[in-house]
Amino acid sequence: MAAGSEVTATYYIQHHLQNLTFGKHPENGWSLAHSSEEAMEMGFWAIHLDTMGWSIAMGALFIWLFRKAGKLATTGVPGTLQNIIEMVVEFVENTVRGAFHGKNPVIAPLALTLFVWIFLMNLLKLIPVDYVPELFARLGVGYMKMVPTTDPNATLGMALGVFLLIIYYSLKVKGVGGFAKELSLTPFNHWLLIPFNLLLEIIGLLVKPLGLGLRLFGNMFAGEVIFILIALLPFWIMWTLNVPWAIFHILVITLQAFIFTVLSVVYLNAAHEHH
Amino acid sequence: MNINMTLIGQTIAFAIFVWFCIKYVWPPISNALHERQKKIADGLDAASRASRDLELAQEQAAETLRESKQQATEILEQANKRASQMIEEAREQARAEGERLVASARSEIEQEVHRAKDELRVQVSSLALVGAERVLEASIDEKAHREMLDKLAAEL
């Protein structure tokens, strides 16, 4: 852990940034990857067990917590848990009301799920970088990248979900013809410019989920790398950088979850609107 | 940092969580929130209505009090007036009674005087007769002079 030679520092960082990958290796068949190279060689047919595990755990925590609050919800005087949950729900509801002008019962719960889930996943970052990997290493698991949002698969996966919803609602609200017209006749309403419009609009459409996913990933990944770098310092000086960075990240965590949520709602709102 | 099946897995997990949230998480919390909002709004409404009612009732009470006070003064005045009227009437009656008594006494006295005078007259006439009899020594025909004597007595 402590700063040793150049090699160990590099190894330390790389080790921390490697997911626990299970996949179909060309030589070893279906197995856990024992190194970054092996994981790389697996190509698409692999899955990050740590990302999936932690994200599902956080999702389950969200569902359990909010379901519990929902079951206990009374119209009378609320308890502490209900108060907190209601605050979050109300916050999301107000945000959605401000950004989404149509009527769709899916949007608000979607936004709530996104916000709380991403927030919880990001929150894992505040656990010191070595605790959990060290624990799993003791149990014989070589790799453990704990924060799902530092894995582009996770952020792009959610963005893909949002993208599919954008396509679905665009087609549902505007119809196939309407959606095609929107793609081909904006921003320049002239048949000669249809190819140009199409190119522009399709890029614009694809950039939405890509931007969503990469923004969250970029922020979280960068923060994680900094945490790992700080962890390379001698232990007695670590806190001078670690503490301010962690405090700053309380803000970043919430902000990134909020940005992802609001942008998703805004995109979905655009999908509902006729031009 | 390879893009792999995790992407798909994450999308599926996302879809399931969103579905679960839509189905089981959002409705009870949202309903409770909105119902409480409605309840609070109703409560505030009721409170303001109640305070308005209270104001109205207080006004009414004050009005009633003022009216009853006025009535009381009126009744008191009437009673006073009645009392003084009664006293006045009683005094009047008493005076009238007194006057009547005085008048009757006076008339009685007058009658008495008349009677006395009449008696006196009769006695004087008979006395005069007796006197005249004595003077004349002659018998006077009482019947013949009676008329003259009565006339004389009436003149007395």
Tens of pLDDT, residues B50-76: 999 999 999 999 999 999 999 999 999
CA dihedral sign of residues A20, A21, A22, A26? negative
Please tell me the distance from the alpha carbon of residue A154 to that of residue B69, in angstroms, as a whole number.
84
Q: For residue A27, with 0-12 CB atoms within 10 Å meaning exposed, 13-18 middle and 19 or more buried, which class applies?
A: exposed
Question: In which band, very low, low, confident or very high, does the pLDDT at B141 lie, cut at 50, 70 and 90?
Answer: low
8-state DSSP, A143: -
Domain that holds residue A167: 6-272
Q: In the predicted model, is pLDDT for residue A246 greater than 50?
A: yes
Q: A66 — contact with chain B (CB < 8 Å)?
A: yes
CB A223 within 8 A of CB A249: yes
Token pair in block for residue A3: 């700063």
Interchain pair A63, B20: CB under 8 A: yes
For residue A84, tell me if it sits in a domain.
yes
In this complex, which of B3, B17, B26 lies closest to A59 when CB atoms are compared? B17
Token pair in block for residue B137: 């020594």
What integer best gives the mean pLDDT of chain A? 88
Q: Identify which has the larger pLDDT, B69 or A141.
A: B69
Interchain pair A164, B18: CB under 8 A: no
Maximum C-alpha span of chain A: 68
Please tell me the distance from the alpha carbon of residue B103 to that of residue B55, in angstroms, as a whole number.
71
For residue A1, tell me if it sits in a domain.
no
Token pair in block for residue B22: 């839509």
User: A7-11, A67-71, B37-41, B65-69 — which is least confidently predicted?
Assistant: A7-11
Please tell me the distance from the alpha carbon of residue A19 to that of residue A151, in angstroms, as a whole number.
8
Question: In which band, very low, low, confident or very high, does the pLDDT at A2 lie, cut at 50, 70 and 90?
Answer: very low
In this complex, which of A56, A67, A148 lies closest to B24 when CB atoms are compared? A67
For residue A81, tell me if it sits in a domain.
yes
Q: Give the number of other CB atoms < 10 A from CB of residue A68.
A: 14
Question: In which band, very low, low, confident or very high, does the pLDDT at A1 lie, cut at 50, 70 and 90?
Answer: very low
CB neighbour list of residue A205: distance below 8 Å, 6 or more residues apart: A166, A183
For residue A169, tell me if it sits in a domain.
yes
- Of A41-50, A151-160, A174-183, give the range with the top mean pLDDT: A151-160
How do the domains of chain B map onto residue ranges?
Answer: 49-154
Residue A26, classed as helix, strand or coil, is coil
Token pair in block for residue A165: 């919803």
Q: Between β-strands A21-25 and A29-32, what pairing exists: parallel, antiparallel or unpaired?
A: antiparallel
CB A39 within 8 A of CB A23: yes
For residue A123, tell me if it sits in a domain.
yes
CB A260 within 8 A of CB A114: yes
Please tell me the distance from the alpha carbon of residue A49 to that of residue A51, in angstroms, as a whole number.
6
Those of residues 120-159 in A touching chain B at CB distance below 8 A are 148, 151-154, 156-158
Specify the number of domains making up chain A.
Answer: 1
Residue pLDDT, tens place only, A47-93: 899 999 999 999 999 999 999 888 888 777 888 888 899 899 999 99
The rounded Cα A273 to chain-centroid distance in angstroms is 26
Please tell me the distance from the alpha carbon of residue A255 to that of residue A262, in angstroms, as a whole number.
10
**CA nearest A40: which of B10, B4, B5?**
B4
Q: What is the pLDDT of residue A3?
A: 44
In this complex, which of A109, A158, A160 lies closest to B25 when CB atoms are compared? A109
Q: Give the number of other CB atoms < 10 A from CB of residue B100.
A: 10
For residue A217, tell me if it sits in a domain.
yes
Degrees, nearest 5: CA angle A256-A258-A262: 120
Please tell me the distance from the alpha carbon of residue B150 to that of residue A185, in angstroms, as a whole number.
160
